[in-house]
Chains A and B, each alone.
Chain A
Amino acid sequence: MTSIMRRIADLFRLKVGKALDRAEDPREVLDYSYEKQLDLVQKVRRGLADVATSRKRIELQLTQLTQSSTKLEDQARQALATGREDLAREALSRRAAVTSQITDLQAQQVSLQAEEEKLTLASQRLQEKVDAFRTRKETIKASYTAAEAQTRISEAVTGISEEMGDIGTAMQRAQDKTEQLQDRAGALDELMASGALEDATLPAGRDDIQAQLDAASEGHDIEADLARMKAQLSAGPADAPALGTGRPATAPGERPATS
């Protein structure tokens, strides 16, 4: 068996050789190869758009999870301030789950970004090669003589075929990475929807922890208002300061807790 690097090089030449053998006129191979290249450039552009969309989705989820994490930390502080250590513990355990998701997502985002950059560079290189190939193709066709055609065409097509092999592997890797991330992003969306991961983007973000905190602080507000009223009554009818506004009573958490 020959060496690895020679065998891979031979594979490209072999493919070109077969294509040339099949063609009645080698110039057909040039045209056909050019069509394939244009197709590939289109595919790469679409692939890049997919990768970018995936990356943006991940970034959006990271933003949401970061907001959730901040909110849960605030709730833990608020719970501790009102003497509800049980609630604070619950909020912090949810925050730990969110933090772990953030760490995983950040790693995925970095690797997707790297694939995207690689693919962008590869596609720019491919575009330059395709332009060079078109020029060479027309030159070969214009000065075509059967005797020299086979060699010159074989060289030109093998060169571009290697380049297409390059971009083919880069595309495959980026697509694999994107699919993994899309599955992951879908799973995260479901977790957020179920409430297992707190989604801070919901309107007003009223969850079960917040509802309990509000109920606890309402009690405090009412007591404080009563104390102020009593103080005003015993002081006589002077210019009474406005009463502190207790929070309006609220319905229990709109979303079930699923911790």
Chain B
Amino acid sequence: MIVRILGEGQYTLADEHLRELNALDSRLKDAVDAGDESEFTATLRALLAAVRRLGTPLPADALTTSELVLPDEDMSLAQVSALLGDEGLIPGL
């Protein structure tokens, strides 16, 4: 499974780690829904740390579609909401 951290790059993770990522991702979603900035920041950091700990970075010239894409560490709750709400943060094709 390929996971991308925006602004950082892609990682390959074994499928068995998906459960751990999903648990953190559910917490992240709840924080976004509740508009809880501090919970969002803490959970996002934990999620990114898990991807870095469990995954192997892909080479820079690899060109592979990611199954999962994560915001980067510096993104605020508002920025992530905007990203999910419309496609404003992603340059058009």
Contacts and interface: CB of A to CB of B under 8 A. Distances in A.
Interface stretch (A128-136, A210-218, A236-244): A128-136
A132 B63 CA distance: 7
A169 B69 contact: no
Interface stretch (A28-36, A76-84, A195-203, A247-255): A28-36
B7 A3 contact: no
Contact of A4 (B4, B28, B63): B28
Contacts of A4: 25, 28-29, 32, 70-71, 80, 84
Interface string B9-43: 10000000000011001101100100000000000
A5 B70 contact: yes
Contacts of B8: 166
Interface of A is mostly: helix
B90 A29 contact: no
Task: Give the interface centre of A15, A16, A40, A133 by most chain B CB atoms within 10 Å.
Answer: A15
A36 B91 contact: yes
B28 A168 contact: no
B69 A12 contact: yes
B63 A173 contact: no
Contacts of A46: none
Interface residues of A, number: 48
Interface string B27-66: 0110010000000000000010000000000001111111
A8 B60 contact: no
B41 to A, nearest CB: 14
A8 B47 CA distance: 15
A5 B26 CA distance: 10
B7 A132 contact: no
Task: Give the interface centre of B63, B74, B90 by most chain A CB atoms within 10 Å.
Answer: B63
Interface of B: 3-4, 6-9, 21-22, 25-26, 28-29, 32, 47, 60-72, 74-75, 79-80, 83-84, 87, 89-93
Given A4-B32, A16-B93, A132-B61, 13 more contacts: A5-B3, A9-B67, A9-B68, A33-B93, A118-B7, A132-B62, A136-B63, A159-B63, A165-B6, A166-B7, A168-B89, A168-B91, A169-B75
Interface of A: 1, 3-9, 11-13, 15-16, 19, 29, 32-33, 36, 40, 118, 122, 124-125, 128-129, 131-133, 136, 154-170, 172-173
